[in-house]
Structure 1
Amino acid sequence: MQHSRPVGRRQLLMAGGALGLTAAAAPLLTAPAQATSNGPACTRITDLGPGIEQFALMSALQVGDIVCIGSRNLEPTRVIAFHLPTRKVVSQTVLGTGHSIQALAADPTGRYLYAGILTKADEGKPNLFRWDLSTPDEPAVPVGRTEDRDIRDLAVAPDGTVYAVGGIPGKAPALWMYDPATGKVTKLGIPDPKATLARTVAATDTTVFFGAGSTLAGGDGASKASLYAYDRASATFTDVTPPEMEKDPSLRELLVVGDRLVVSTAGSTEPAKLAVMDLADLSSYTVTPTTGKVVKNLTANGDTIYFATDAGLHSYSTADKAITPVAFDGDLGEIWGLDYAGGTLTAVSGYAFVAEIDLVAGKSVVTELGPAGAPVSPQATMGIAADHRYVYVGGNNGIARHDLRTGKVVNLRAPGEAKDAHVLNGVLYTGQYSSQGMWTYDPLKDGQPHQLAAFPSEQNRPLDVCYDAVNELLLVGAQSDTEGGGSLWTYSTKTGKKAAYINPVDGTQLVRAVATRDGVAYLGGDNPTATGPRGTLVAFDPVAGRELWRLDLPASLTTGTAALAVHGRHLYGLTRKGGFFVVDLTIRRVVHTADHRAVCPGFAAMVTSRGVVYGVSDTTLFRFDPRTFAVSTVVAEINGAWYSGPHVNADHRGRLYTMRGHNLVRIEDRPVI
């Protein structure tokens, strides 16, 4: 997100005067900037409170009349117990490690709940926990650690043995076993050495089923959907993947129902699929395509399989092979838990509510988890966008709208994650992960955000949003998690016409960053794989959809692009490990490089405001001198709580917005240039 045109000297002086008046009217924390270029500066920071607060969730499992729900992107991680008869949260337990809980499983007795952790980095701590539901006031205890950093799914065999799958970047996922009798965690092997992530596991007395693929880090030879049967007696793996599913990027979910195994996929270039396999003869199966991008949250009642897709709830009849929508009056959003019991489907929404759907009566009851007693706390955040009235902060399945006049904060609902955003003429535009395309929200007209434009579903991860004022186009750089590479999306705010240009850099590099000048889009390439080119810059005509020229960065800048911004004739860029470069766009050459790892150790974002380019990293807010390109620290140790990389944006007056810890802050900087 960045301003596409530099601010003139007269505008800069006027903005500076307005800044002084505004500063006098608000409570501000003032600190001198640590300048390493020209002269002193005054930096004023206004704390606007938590960026986004909610009880976000990533898993749910019904055990008797309790729905256990795992938190998402909250610290500390926790599991809450929602009591269906009273519709209240009656207990909770804090796990404390990682940031999210995606995997929950109960033992056959219903006494023990197992929970698996997701982390941003390998903390070297236990990632498998057990909670005794017979004594819920006693905290869950750590019982082991898999070497795959993240646990994505758990299954408990009839004899109480626990199986776990997940992944860690750069390594193929393994099957793990926890034996409650010995307390040991054992690695059972890696069935698919080309897989990047295992998403699902199921277990019987004799067999463990392992589902994997490339939902993340696809392309570059990574496997597609794969299903393996592990024989518990012989300790051997057998590939039992239905050929009809092999084009999908990943197995998504498994469920053992009587003498059958239900299998689902996450789709990409094709819709997701549902298969029912005979456990006695796995070569005997049926595969049914769906209309969704993903099939998950499998549950069953006899011959009827219920599941969630990105289009809501559906049922599948194993007798007549038909898929039928399940009626629900409202928007369930992203569903993270689905269970059937006594004629009722209980669906747990990423919007932080529990929906009880009476299938016979056709009626539903919705309970918001916050008012029911779920702990509401600040999340790590995603995209930020601002104008004269509102600042928007992205979270999981929600966007917080901060009213700058009243200080009131309202949580808006939007599925997935607003990875980046831009406000234009008072209207919010976002890039929504995963496979949600672009969304929009007009505070004068809309009750909630809604989808503006869909793009190819495999181009699922939008990363950077900016506005091309010359061509009146919104520009979005994106990544394909499943296929590799990426794309540039364009959307005309004037005509509503959209376009997607696939792999404009090359077949390996995604589009990490986008900047614009005089109607030309500048694309910053990045490569998440270990080999191949990275950091290529491409000048692109977003109207004609063609490359104008390209430039490879110097060998000293060995990592991919993290952020781009334009000031005057110069294109500024940061790499993913603090490398800095400046390109003179008139001669198409790199004219300056520097190593700024001290202030920018990893991912970064940049914005142009009041004639100065600012950058933010996980640790520091900084600026660049427009003449010498020297870096100056604006706010040291800002340490924003970011979920998927830092962001910074500016409003129409040039005031900056970013995160300090979990709090949104406004920064008014007056450098002496």
Structure 2
Amino acid sequence: MQHSPSMDRRQLLRAGGALGLGAATAPLLGAPAQAAPSRPRTTVTDLGPAIEQFALMSGILVGDTVCIGSRNLTPTRLIAFHLPTRKVVARTDLGTGHSVQALAADPSGRYLYAGVLTKADEGRPNLFRWDLTTPDRPAVAVGRTEDRDIRELAVAPDGTVYAVGGIPGKAPALWMYDPGTGAVTKLGIPDPNATLARAVAATDTTVFFGAGSVLSGGGEASRASLYAYDRAEGTFTDITPPELQRDPSLRELAVLGDRLVVSTSGSTEAAKLAVMDLADLSSYTVTPTRGKVAKTLTTDGERIYFAGDAGLHAYTMATRTITPVAFDGPELGEIWGLDHTGGTLAVVSGYGFVAEVDIAAGTSTVTDLGSAGASVDPQTVMGIAADRRYVYVGGNNVIARHDLRTGKVVNLRAPGEAKDAEVLNGVLYTGQYSGQGMWTYDPAEDEQPRQLASFPSEQNRPLDVCYDPVNRLLLVGAQSDTEGGGSLWTYSPRKGRKAVFVDPVDENQLVRAVATRDGIAYLGGDNPTAQGPRGTLVAFDPVAGREVWRTDLPLSTGVAALAVQGRHLFGLTRRGGFFVVDLPARQVVHTADLRGICPGFAAMVTGRGAVYGVSDTTLFRIHPKTFAVTTVVPEINGAWYSGPHVTVDARGRLYTMRGHHLVRVEDRP
């Protein structure tokens, strides 16, 4: 991208100082730069699989068997867990996508339908069917929706299948699969301003479609919306109760007897539960829950059970009250499946187990799926942090602790996802998605991680964690999926004080990257919407809570990573742009195009006087003075879930991923 004179002039005048771009005549994305080959001074040590656990994202009871869909495992798969014997009795591999979030069975219980999530539009089937009468035969692909991801499925009484989901940049549609003809048909887009649909339910006459803006919210994105699709007429009618419209999205729909049960995703308010009369949809009740999550709906006829922020809850229809379900079992974490059968709740936990909760007795039985026969394989990972003794790797509902002395790996339980982390004086600090705030773990004192500090729940996606040694503060950059924009969090481990600064860049730009020098935090902005600036750099005083200066970098995409070495701030964009800012001069002094080795998201760290970057494909080194780029490990190809990470220990050794394995890289620049 060329710098326009008007943009340069505007930047020179920003913040009342000389904030111009010293490299304003050079393109930030010119001819792709090629990294110089690495000399034989790098040692790579394989530390084994980063995280091994049966990770899951869905569960449904069919007869006496719980069918479960995997998450971030290769290959994507379904397993069948037989409740009477508490054994995994069948498995089938799907082979596309990275996770299975949507499961639904046909009325006969013979066919299980599964919808997959993908990282990109693979152009391959995303709807599968498994014949449970012959579970040894593999599931078959039956169709593909043009929405990249399938988030929810419903099967009407006549066997017709309905699917909803989404794809970035497009409003979600309602899709139909006809098992008689094998055709997949797009039935329409009822809400053109929605960004994602996660709820669908069907009767003989009507399909209910729930959507909103749980991802890419803010701006003109819609809030919670509920539509009724007339199967005979082929028309949509908006039936959203006004009481639900303040929430960002519909979370779940279920036809339970003669009622339609609706739940929302909470953000600035608590999630809500609505019970609607199918015979008269204008007749309904709405009850706020006690948290921001209400999903996986099931009933015993008198009560509606659902998964909330803190485990299981029951809504008594006669009194319209919500109470926790008490039992003697462990904390359940993220719940991805909940069904009622004979006075028992079958719970599918993201921690990789199935819990059977006896409602009347208040007791439970827990079965680990790995011990029951599920194949435990390496999953894709997220944040990494290290000190001299341990390396921690974040995944879905798990943080793996690697002991560098013994090689032993222990799985720690932490709900959600540890997006990024730091280790200070032997204590781990993480940013936990979604809406979990900061968590901590001291291996000398804690059996399991625990929540350290909460932050506004709508600031739900922490992305980058770093430590400010001058102010003795942990700094966390975050994104608000539902409201747009983002925030900077600060936490003092010494004093136990926290603060949050919402939208320090602007109302559209999240804070994707944070770096620090001399007590000033440098925030890298990123804008997932089509409107407004992107790639704004803000210098921010985290103690006073005020902006010091800013500049709009001439970027077509936002900042992906930042690191400080000496007087320079080094940055990478989400599409391989590389820039260097002279911080005392507040001036860009170097730009280059690194798309050849950094095609997408990236992370940066400093060690042994150099700057290191990692992309999905390559680990590379940046010279702190000449800014020359050298490949350290080519084709590292880490198995990442939400963007690559790299960390450094006190000895200057790097840790990142090569494939599904954690590796230590000893580089001698």
Q: TM-score when scaled to structure 1? A: 0.94
Structure 1 residues not aligned, in runs of 5+ = 1-33
Partner of 1:643: 641
Partner of 2:425: 425
CA distance in 2, matches of 1:254, 1:581: 47
Partner of 2:42: 43
**What secondary structure is seen at the aligned counterpart in 2 of 1:155?**
strand
Shift of 1:36: 5.2
Q: For the Cα contact (< 8 Å) 2:168–2:195, is it kept in 1?
A: yes
Shift of 1:361: 1.8
Equivalent residue runs for 1:350-361 within 5 Å: 350-361=350-361
1:252 aligned to 2:251? yes
Shift of 1:600: 0.5
CA distance in 2, matches of 1:54, 1:613: 33
Partner of 2:551: 551
Partner of 1:659: 657
Partner of 2:8: none
Partner of 2:517: 517
Partner of 1:204: 203
Residue 421 of structure 1 aligns to which amino acid in structure 2? A
**What secondary structure is seen at the aligned counterpart in 1 of 2:290?**
coil
Q: Using a 3 Å threshold, how does the CA distance of structure 1 residues 35 and 151 change in structure 2: closer, same or farther?
A: closer
Partner of 2:572: 574
Residue 569 of structure 2 aligns to which amino acid in structure 1? L
**What secondary structure is seen at the aligned counterpart in 1 of 2:506?**
coil
**What secondary structure is seen at the aligned counterpart in 2 of 1:377?**
coil
Equivalent residue runs for 1:411-490 within 5 Å: 411-490=411-490
Shift of 1:638: 0.4
Q: For the Cα contact (< 8 Å) 1:35–1:634, is it kept in 2?
A: no
Equivalent residue runs for 1:519-668 within 5 Å: 519-553=519-553, 556-668=554-666
Partner of 1:26: none
Q: For the Cα contact (< 8 Å) 1:35–1:41, is it kept in 2?
A: no
CA distance in 1, matches of 2:555, 2:608: 28
**What secondary structure is seen at the aligned counterpart in 1 of 2:41?**
strand
**What secondary structure is seen at the aligned counterpart in 2 of 1:606?**
strand
Shift of 1:40: 3.9
Residue 452 of structure 1 aligns to which amino acid in structure 2? L
CA distance in 2, matches of 1:201, 1:424: 45
Shift of 1:41: 5.3
Equivalent residue runs for 1:151-550 within 5 Å: 151-329=150-328, 330-550=330-550
Shift of 1:530: 1.5
Shift of 1:156: 0.3
Q: Deviations over 1:395-424 (max 9, x none)?
A: 100000000000000110000000000000
Q: Deviations over 1:157-198 (max 9, x none)?
A: 000000000000000000000000000000000000000000
Greater shift, 35-44 or 217-226, is seen at 35-44
**What secondary structure is seen at the aligned counterpart in 1 of 2:388?**
coil
Shift of 1:38: 11
**What secondary structure is seen at the aligned counterpart in 2 of 1:198?**
strand
Residue 498 of structure 2 aligns to which amino acid in structure 1? K
**What secondary structure is seen at the aligned counterpart in 2 of 1:53?**
coil
Q: For the Cα contact (< 8 Å) 1:602–1:618, is it kept in 2?
A: yes
**What secondary structure is seen at the aligned counterpart in 2 of 1:244?**
helix
**What secondary structure is seen at the aligned counterpart in 1 of 2:243?**
helix
Shift of 1:39: 9.0
CA distance in 2, matches of 1:115, 1:596: 39
CA distance in 2, matches of 1:286, 1:262: 10
Partner of 2:108: 109
Q: Using a 3 Å threshold, how does the CA distance of structure 1 residues 595 and 36 change in structure 2: closer, same or farther?
A: closer
CA distance in 2, matches of 1:627, 1:455: 39
Q: For the Cα contact (< 8 Å) 2:534–2:555, is it kept in 1?
A: no
Partner of 1:13: none
Partner of 1:120: 119
Q: For the Cα contact (< 8 Å) 2:327–2:359, is it kept in 1?
A: no
Q: For the Cα contact (< 8 Å) 1:541–1:548, is it kept in 2?
A: yes
CA distance in 2, matches of 1:670, 1:534: 36
Q: Deviations over 1:194-227 (max 9, x none)?
A: 0000001000000000000001110121001000
Structure 2 residues not aligned, in runs of 5+ = 1-32
Q: Deviations over 1:535-579 (max 9, x none)?
A: 0000000001100100111xx532100000000010000011111
CA distance in 1, matches of 2:404, 2:80: 36
Give aligned pairs, total.
636
CA distance in 1, matches of 2:651, 2:267: 42
Partner of 2:24: none
CA distance in 2, matches of 1:627, 1:84: 63
Partner of 1:61: 60
CA distance in 2, matches of 1:376, 1:36: 38
Q: TM-score when scaled to structure 2? A: 0.94
Report the aligned-residue RMSD.
1.1
CA distance in 1, matches of 2:364, 2:261: 27
Q: For the Cα contact (< 8 Å) 2:38–2:632, is it kept in 1?
A: no
CA distance in 2, matches of 1:603, 1:318: 48
Q: For the Cα contact (< 8 Å) 1:200–1:212, is it kept in 2?
A: yes
**What secondary structure is seen at the aligned counterpart in 2 of 1:378?**
coil
CA distance in 1, matches of 2:136, 2:490: 53
CA distance in 2, matches of 1:44, 1:564: 25
**What secondary structure is seen at the aligned counterpart in 2 of 1:356?**
strand
Q: Using a 3 Å threshold, how does the CA distance of structure 1 residues 240 and 405 change in structure 2: closer, same or farther?
A: same
Partner of 1:24: none
Q: For the Cα contact (< 8 Å) 2:313–2:322, is it kept in 1?
A: yes
Partner of 1:6: none
Residue 140 of structure 2 aligns to which amino acid in structure 1? V
**What secondary structure is seen at the aligned counterpart in 2 of 1:201?**
strand
CA distance in 1, matches of 2:258, 2:333: 32
Partner of 1:148: 147
Q: For the Cα contact (< 8 Å) 2:34–2:596, is it kept in 1?
A: no
Shift of 1:303: 2.3
Q: Deviations over 1:272-326 (max 9, x none)?
A: 0000001111111000001111100000111210000111100001111010110
Percent identity of the aligned residues?
A: 80
CA distance in 2, matches of 1:165, 1:232: 16
Shift of 1:358: 0.8
Q: For the Cα contact (< 8 Å) 1:41–1:669, is it kept in 2?
A: no
Shift of 1:516: 0.4
CA distance in 2, matches of 1:289, 1:225: 15
